[in-house]
Amino acid sequence: MPLTGKERRHLRGLGHHLEPVVLVGQSGVTEGVIAALEQALNDHELIKVKINEGPEGRHEVADRLAEATGSELAQLLGRTALFFKRRKQKSRFEDVLKGPHEPRPAPKADEEKKPRRR
């Protein structure tokens, strides 16, 4: 299920402070990189990947990794990619798929506004 724009924005905010846990080296996307990425996604759900110079461009590498692991690419900024894959059980990101923010209730018309103290 693809992420909406609001979900991506919320995930980018949550992933801002993360450090890359998987590095894609000169060899590009290998079975070892895919296995490491899958393990990291199972452990953390939201991870950063550093993409170094290699035989493919960073966009192609990010797309291949997302497709190979069944994850969503939340952000590609420079050579750093942010991937998200929600666990089926015990997910820490249940609220992300429901929407990051609940709307505030509208004020009732019959309530009088209290004067603000200055």
Backbone phi, psi, residue 85, to 5° = -145, 115
Range with lowest mean pLDDT among 6-15, 77-86, 96-105:
96-105
> pLDDT tens digit string along 35-66?
999 999 998 989 999 999 888 899 999 999 99
CA distances from 17 to 20, 82, 116 (A): 10, 11, 38
Please tell me which residue, 114 or 58, carries the higher pLDDT value: 58
Percent over 90 (pLDDT), the chain = 47
Q: Residue 2 has what pLDDT?
A: 80
Q: Which amino acid is at 65?
A: L
Q: Length of the chain in residues, anyone?
A: 118
Q: Residue 100 has what pLDDT?
A: 47
The answer on pLDDT for 34 being more than 90 is yes
The answer on pLDDT for 79 being more than 90 is yes
Query: For all residues of the chain together, what is the average pLDDT?
Result: 83
Fold of 5-85: Translation Initiation Factor IF3 (3.30.110)
